[in-house]
């Protein structure tokens, strides 16, 4: 053990000043403010003013030194010890578990590493707390079984995704259809009734969305129900749509910003003999060959396709928020051209291979009394494409 006067400061004479071990209250309060009362260890972010089990309020934080108070302590023998070990720059707010970890493994959690944790955390807090009151959003979730399993979205993932907006409450509006078997017509009808009921409540007078005037939508469900959800949402209140990503380059629901933008192409792949019969193939998450369409889509049908113009269709193509906006422009342009070429037809058949946000905007971007209804089909290896639901273009809820 070192015998150096690690906690003494020279005053220029022969009488050193012994430093107090306790961090001054003023410094501690400043640290609590800079950290928002959360653990600064990268990936932890635990709320240190709430007990993790009982949820009771309390101060469960520990003020940790990056370079230890004692020279024989963790990272204490650093060649460039800070002049004042209690300076804010040398302090982190940690939960007891993370505090013990960094002190038990000082060679792994070095001074530069901990400095980077502190810097990133405090910069994030400063950024988030700069959001104004006009950036509130109402969270809406549609939850169904995916591959037979429910998919939960942690609130931390939602906060990451909607930034710089912030949710008005931690739960929001949850349309939970996980208890409904949506693989048959009866289940689909039950799911539609559930969506209707929850949306009626969401847009009712006096509810949050009326004053907030913004919605952030997180939805995982069969494509036909996502399209129905979109068709029912009011276009008078802006909606941000979010995509669940499979990679680990960021929070799962956070739009990426560094990838090459996607472009789309709408074209006729097979002209028909009857202008009133139209089929739309959406080859985005995968390629849908003409041979996969049902036999009922015969020579009388005009068959159109929207696909990726600059890459082969694949399931992870939708990366940036702008990728979705570019699809919406292409889709709306297609609908406008369709009306010009075919007139006011009653419906089009839709054969989709698309991610959730695209499925939702298929319904959301329909114009009542102008665009045709969408007869949605779903694909399975066993049965091919099967008709699932007719989504009307005039079913949208109205709001003031």
User: Model's pTM, two decimal places?
Assistant: 0.72
> Whose CA is closest to 371, among 230, 247, 221?
230
Measured CA angle at 49 (ends 46, 55), to 5 deg: 85
Q: What is the rounded distance in angstroms from the CA atom of residue 119 to the CA atom of residue 114?
A: 9
The b-or-e profile of 358-373 (16+ CB within 10 A means b, else e) is bbbbbbbbbeeeebbb
- Contact in structure between 199 and 231 (CB atoms under 8 Å): no
- pLDDT at position 19 is 54
> Whose CA is closest to 350, among 393, 395, 394?
393
The CA–CA distances, whole Å, from 40 to 13, 53, 147 equal 39, 20, 37
Which runs of consecutive H residues, i.e. helices, occur in the chain?
25-35, 96-104, 111-128, 155-162, 185-202, 208-212, 223-232, 321-342, 356-364
Phi, psi of 162 (to 5 degrees): -85, -15
- Contact in structure between 27 and 86 (CB atoms under 8 Å): yes
Q: Which H, E and C letters describe 335-360, residue by residue?
A: HHHHHHHHCCCCEEEEEEECCHHHHH
Phi, psi of 357 (to 5 degrees): -60, -35
Which residues, 6 or more positions from 225, have their beta carbon under 8 angstroms from its beta carbon? Answer: 142, 144, 177, 182, 188, 191, 192, 195, 389
- pLDDT at position 398 is 66
Residue ranges for the chain with pLDDT beneath 70: 1-20, 131-133, 398-400
- pLDDT at position 146 is 82
Q: Is the dihedral of CA 271, 272, 275, 276 positive or negative?
A: negative
Number of other residues whose CB lies within 10 A of the CB of residue 383: 8
- pLDDT at position 152 is 85
């Amino acid at each position: 053990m070192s015998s150096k006067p690690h906690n003494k400061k020279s005053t220029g004479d022969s009488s050193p000043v012994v430093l107090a071990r306790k961090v001054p209250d003023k410094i501690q309060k400043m640290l609590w403010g800079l950290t928002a009362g959360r653990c600064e260890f990268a990936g932890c972010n635990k709320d240190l003013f709430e007990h993790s089990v009982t949820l009771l309020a309390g101060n469960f934080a520990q003020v940790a030194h990056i370079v230890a108070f004692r020279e024989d302590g963790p990272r204490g023998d650093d060649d460039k010890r800070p002049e004042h070990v209690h300076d804010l720059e040398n302090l982190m707010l940690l939960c007891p578990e993370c505090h013990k970890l960094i002190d038990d493994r000082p060679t792994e959690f070095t001074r530069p590493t901990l400095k980077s944790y502190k810097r990133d955390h405090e910069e994030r807090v400063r950024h988030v707390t700069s959001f104004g009151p006009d950036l509130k959003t109402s969270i809406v979730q549609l939850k169904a079984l995916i591959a037979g399993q429910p998919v939960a979205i942690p609130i931390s993932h939602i906060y990451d995704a909607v930034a710089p907006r912030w949710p008005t409450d931690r739960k929001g509006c949850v349309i939970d259809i996980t208890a409904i078997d949506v693989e048959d017509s009866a289940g689909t009808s039950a799911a539609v009734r559930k969506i209707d009921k929850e949306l009626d409540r969401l847009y009712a007078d006096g509810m949050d969305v009326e004053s907030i005037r913004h919605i952030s939508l997180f939805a995982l469900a069969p494509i036909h129900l996502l399209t129905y959800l979109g068709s029912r949402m009011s276009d008078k209140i802006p909606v941000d749509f979010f995509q669940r990503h499979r990679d680990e380059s960021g929070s799962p629901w956070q739009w990426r910003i560094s990838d090459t933008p996607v472009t789309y192409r709408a074209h006729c792949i097979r002209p028909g003999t009857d202008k009133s019969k139209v089929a739309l193939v959406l080859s985005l998450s995968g390629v849908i060959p003409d041979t996969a369409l049902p036999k009922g889509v015969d020579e009388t049908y005009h068959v159109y396709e929207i696909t990726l113009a600059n890459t082969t269709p694949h399931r992870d193509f939708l990366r940036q928020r702008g990728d979705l906006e570019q699809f919406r422009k292409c889709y709306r342009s297609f609908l406008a051209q369709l009306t010009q070429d075919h007139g006011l037809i009653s419906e089009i058949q839709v054969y989709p291979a698309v991610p959730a946000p695209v499925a939702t905007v298929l319904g959301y971007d329909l114009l009542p009394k102008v665009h045709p209804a969408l007869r949605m089909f779903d694909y399975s290896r066993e049965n091919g494409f099967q008709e699932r639901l007719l989504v009307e273009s005039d079913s949208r809820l109205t709001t003031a």
